[in-house]
Amino acid sequence: MTALRRAAAVLVLLLAALLPPPRCAQDPGMVHYIYQRFQVLEQGLEKCTQATRAYIQDFREFSKNITALLGRCQTYTSEYKSAVTNLALRVERAQREIDYLEYLREADVCVESEDKTLAEELIQEAEEEKKIRTLLNASCDNMLMGVKSLKIVKKTVDTHGSWMKDAVSNPQKVYFLIGSRNKTVWEFANLRAFMEDSTKPAPRKLTLTHSWQGTGQVIHEGFLFFHNQGTLNEIIKYNLQKRTVEDRMLLPGGAGRALVYQHSASTYIDLAVDEHGLWAIHSGPGVYGHLVLTKIEPGTLGVEHSWDTPCRSQDAEASFLLCGVLYVVYSSGGHGPHRITCVYDPLGAISEDDLPKLFFPRRPRSHSMIHYNPRDKQLYAWNDGNQIIYKLQTKRKRPLE
């Protein structure tokens, strides 16, 4: 306040020195007027100073509050950042736990699925085994123990062919099929008539409507079953009495794509008959593949079951079935010795370890065909133009568990 008064006095003196003395300088009223004006100015300056101080004080308070708030915000920001970081860690941990639980759940599902699949497979295998046992449940429990002797019944100039009897219908008659591709069947009244061409009555000539392929034909229950020439896998059922085609089927499983035996140059499907009925043997895929065994229902020509056997077609020349067991005959280079080195039993009652070494009497060449007759328990074979009968030695199988 004193400083303001001093400033006002100085201002008055300056104005007095600078201004020319008015005519009314000696007038006391004018001096009093000027003094009042300076008091008003002084009061205005005082109010301005007070307002400025108040503003400064308010700003200081505001600045102090702002600084405090900023400090709090920094504290809160640090707390929030820490909280967010902790929350992110907890979320990540929870996600890992969820992933682990999901893995365990999927693993349990997989285990349950595998267990279920395994159980289904076991049930299917049990049903399959039951079906096979029912299918092969005939009064036949013999197994081959040896080829005792041979009898050459007839000799012809034909290297390939097949001959047989019907074990069910007219078992005395002999059927003679010459060559690997033909349609003429010769029917003889009995074995004696077959052996002696001059014996009466003369054979009956049957001309088929289709030619056969290979030497794998069989006669069963009055019907001739053969692989139709010119087809990949068609089996024809021919009625010998009516001389008509009774039925036909396509053998599945890739049949007919390769020779069934390496040393049988024209046979792609080999048919067989035993105590259980009608069978088919063919080679699986690949060069000299494994043999495939198929059980056929002769009445409908429906496939009852198929088995992939461990027996290979390489070095094989023929095979036959006896009591539901497949015996495959092998030779080296198509020459002797002729021996059975692979045996397959669908029921698993016989293995190669159960059998002795099975050799055939020495022959100069491989067999064109070997078929088993379940009625007289003998093998009918064709070897280098000779029609041969092999007598067999058998014994009972071990019982199934």
Q: Is the pLDDT of residue 391 over 90?
A: yes
- When pLDDT is cut at 50, 70 and 90, the band that residue 67 belongs to is confident
For residue 342, give the amino acid letter: C
C-beta atoms surrounding 63 within 10 Å: 10
Tokens of 277: 């009925």
Contact 38, 12 (CB under 8 A): yes
| φ, ψ dihedrals at 359, nearest 5° | -115, 150
Give tens-digit pLDDT for 149-203.
Answer: 889 999 999 999 999 999 998 889 999 999 999 999 999 999 999 998 766 788 9
224: left (phi over 0), alpha (psi -120 to 50) or beta: beta
pLDDT value at residue 344: 95
Contact 227, 214 (CB under 8 A): yes
Average pLDDT score over the chain: 85
**Of 247, 223, 222, 243, the residue nearest 235 (C-alpha):** 247
Strand partners, 392: 147
81 exposed, middle or buried (CB, 10 Å; 0-12, 13-18, 19+)?
A: exposed
Region 318-339: what's the mean pLDDT? 89
Region 71-95: what's the mean pLDDT? 74
Strand partners, 326: 321, 344
Architecture of domain 139-394: 6 Propeller (2.120)
For residue 399, give the amino acid letter: P
For residue 45, give the amino acid letter: L
- Greater confidence (35 vs 358) lies with 358
Measure the CA–CA gap between 226 and 235, rounded to whole angstroms. Answer: 6
Q: Is the pLDDT of residue 323 over 70?
A: yes
Please name the residues in contact with 6: beta carbons below 8 A apart, sequence gap of 6 or more.
none
Tokens of 6: 């001093």
pLDDT value at residue 111: 62
Using DSSP's 3-state secondary structure scheme, residue 307 falls into strand
pLDDT value at residue 24: 47
Q: What is the dihedral of CA 323, 325, 331, 337, to 10 degrees?
A: -50
Number of H helices and E strands in the chain, helices first, is 3, 20
Please name the residues in contact with 251: beta carbons below 8 A apart, sequence gap of 6 or more.
233, 234, 235, 269, 280, 282, 294, 303
- When pLDDT is cut at 50, 70 and 90, the band that residue 5 belongs to is low
What's the N-to-C CA distance of the chain in angstroms?
129
Residue 148 CA neighbour count, 13 Å, CB half: 7
> Can the peptide bond before residue 201 be classed as cis, meaning omega within 30 degrees of 0?
yes
- Greater confidence (327 vs 288) lies with 327
Region 34-45: what's the mean pLDDT? 80
Helices (H), 187-289: 191-195
pLDDT value at residue 54: 84
Kindly state the DSSP code that residue 27 receives in the 8-state scheme.
Answer: -
Residue 204 CA neighbour count, 13 Å, CB half: 12
Sign of the four-CA dihedral 215, 386, 313, 372: positive
pLDDT value at residue 377: 95
Q: Is the pLDDT of residue 256 over 70?
A: yes
**DSSP characters over 330-354:** EEETTEEEEEEEEEE-TTS---GGG
